[in-house]
Amino acid sequence: MDRIVDTPAPNRDSFIQYFYENDALLNVHSEVIFSVLGRYNCFAGCKVCYTEKHFKEAMPYFKNFIPKEINTDIQQQWTKVFEHFKHISNIDDLFWMKHEQPHLYDWYKQNSHRFVWGSMTDNNFIRTQPLFVNELSADTKIQEISFSTGWLDKVNKTEIFAMLKELNERNGIQKIKFILTTQDNNSLDLLSKWVEDNGIGYTCSHHDFNEVTKKLDTNIPQAEHIASFDSDVFYVCRESNYLQHNGFFLTLIESIDVNNRPYHQFKEFDATKHLSDMIQGKVDLYTKWVNNNQNVLDIQENKDYFDYFKWVSNNVKVNHNYNFIPIDLLNAQHKYYHQLTKVGWKITDYGLLKTGTSNVVPLLEVTNDN
């Protein structure tokens, strides 16, 4: 069976081409993932959840990152950030908020229409679906729902299909993801047929992140930019940023760890500074992975990822005093590009140039293109 790749693994034939086409500024092209919390947590307890151990490690200090109120100033800053992205996704645990932090849940009841939701996996789908269909705005869209094949094998699929149908008719479901945790894919075949019959046009799959990296034998498009080993996940930061209250993180695990500092934190959002901080954050994160995780990255299954992260660490230089963004990094298809033109950047044939520039300094430089 030919593998259909949705997001490719690093290509060691040309790391520089892969960096520009599949990394660099890709994670500001479309989406930001938002949470009202200063650090992320979820209490659904899904067996397949690769972040469960990270949640437990963070729990003693998690309460320090729960806002007591949501004031006007921070809401204005969130609106400013949101204007830079096509999609504002959300992964907060609404069931937990409803029962444990009702002031945050009340805010979401008033603002759920601003988001597309992407946090429902297995148990969390069962917990959260009734909130969407009974309490939140019908304008709240569902970005994706993930199901593991092991979980599907154990539940009443007739009931699951009925809940999916109700949610899809009221709110709309954009994507179903499959996590392949079993050898027998009978449940996957049934759900795949339901997805096709109900016009949900895009599905993808990925391996179980609790295990070592696998290339899946499936005709469902799959994500291959992610490496894993025993619940530690290392991936090319190409898809999204995580905005936790007023701080940005590059990965979900980074956004959970109470000891991590955001790569960019703000009282007033600065889109120009955010871009250079983000690229620097990638270089720093990939460097940390290479230095601290060689025993799990520098193995056969993860070798391409290890070498790519090492290449970025050694060869990508960020210019924090930049005044030029090449068009192959950001262009007129992206909202972020147009927002920059409102704050002193002008459009040229080659990219965005800061008004008043005399000596051009690009956002980044690659020192070795091997």
DSSP letter, residue 10: P
Using CA atoms, how far apart are residues 28 and 2, in angstroms rounded to an integer? Answer: 31
**How far is Cα 220 from Cα 194, in angstroms, rounded to an integer?**
14
> Looking at residue 193, what is its pLDDT?
86
Query: For residue 150, with 0-12 CB atoms within 10 Å meaning exposed, 13-18 middle and 19 or more buried, which class applies?
Result: middle
For the question of whether the overall pTM of this predicted structure is more than 0.95, the answer is: no
Of 295, 223, 237, 236, nearest in space to 31 by CA? 237
> Which alpha helices (DSSP H) does the chain contain, by range?
15-22, 52-62, 72-82, 94-100, 102-111, 123-134, 149-152, 157-170, 186-197, 252-256, 271-292, 294-297, 303-315, 335-340
Please state the φ and ψ torsions of residue 176, each to the nearest 5 degrees.
-115, 130
DSSP state of 34: E
- Angle, vertex CA 153, rays to CA 213 and CA 159, nearest 5: 125
**pLDDT at position 266, please?**
96
Spatial distance between the Cα atoms of 200 and 207, rounded to a whole number of angstroms: 21
pLDDT at 144: 87
Report d(CA 210, CA 51) in Å as an integer. 9
Burial degree of 367 (CB within 10 A; 0-12, 13-18, 19+)? exposed
pLDDT (tens, 9 = 90+) of the chain, 370 residues, equals 344 556 777 887 899 999 999 999 999 998 999 999 999 998 877 777 777 888 889 989 999 999 999 999 999 999 999 999 999 999 899 999 999 999 999 999 999 999 998 878 889 999 999 999 999 999 999 988 988 888 888 999 899 999 999 999 999 998 888 887 777 777 778 888 888 888 886 677 766 666 677 676 777 777 666 776 666 778 888 888 999 999 999 998 899 999 999 999 999 999 999 999 999 999 999 999 999 888 777 777 778 888 999 999 999 999 999 999 999 999 999 999 999 999 999 999 999 999 999 999 999 999 876 5
Both tokens of 100, joined, read 């444990």
